[in-house]
Amino acid sequence: MKLGFRLKHYFYNAFRELFVHHHGSLAFRAKLYALVIAANEKANVENFIIVKKHGLEIYKEDKDRANLLLLSTKEMVQKIKENNGLGIDALIQSIQQDLKAAPRYAKKIDIEALSEFLTLTYDEDSLAYQKNILEFLQKLKDETLNKNQK
């Protein structure tokens, strides 16, 4: 990534909520990606390549926004790995709170896209954990969307 983008990202980090259009939506997606990636103890750079690819698809080739999604996801995964104030359970709770506050975010849970990370997991325990997380997210999505339709 270019130095200019890194500086802009550093600036945006400090004032993310003010300067990033639809920051909540981007942060929610980053949480979803981070949750699935962090469940694989041996996550590697290929996981983040997938995030970048999905970001470019979601944001219609807006490279800056895709990079913000990538960097936000990396930050969350790093916090989880370093046990730095964020754990998988806390992240799940945060996702649930986000959905209660903004049920429309349930439409952003793309299980098919998140399943792509399973192809990069070779440890059977991590793979089972990721599958359980995807099942949980699907159930959470279905419950939220069904609750909204009533």
Q: What is the pLDDT of residues 34-73, one digit of tens each?
A: 999 999 988 899 999 999 999 999 999 788 889 889 999 9
Please write the tens of the pLDDT for every residue from 95-145.
Answer: 999 999 999 999 999 999 999 999 999 999 999 999 999 999 999 999 999
Of 99, 45, 96, nearest in space to 73 by CA:
45
Say what the pLDDT of residue 18 is: 43
Average pLDDT over residues 5-9: 60
The span from the CA of 66 to the CA of 71, in Å, is 9
The span from the CA of 107 to the CA of 25, in Å, is 11
Q: What angle do CA 28, 16, 34 make, to 5 degrees?
A: 30
Average pLDDT over residues 5-10: 60
Q: How many CA atoms lie within 13 A of 5 on its CB side?
A: 12
pTM of the entire structure?
0.84
Q: 44 near 123, Cβ under 8 Å?
A: no
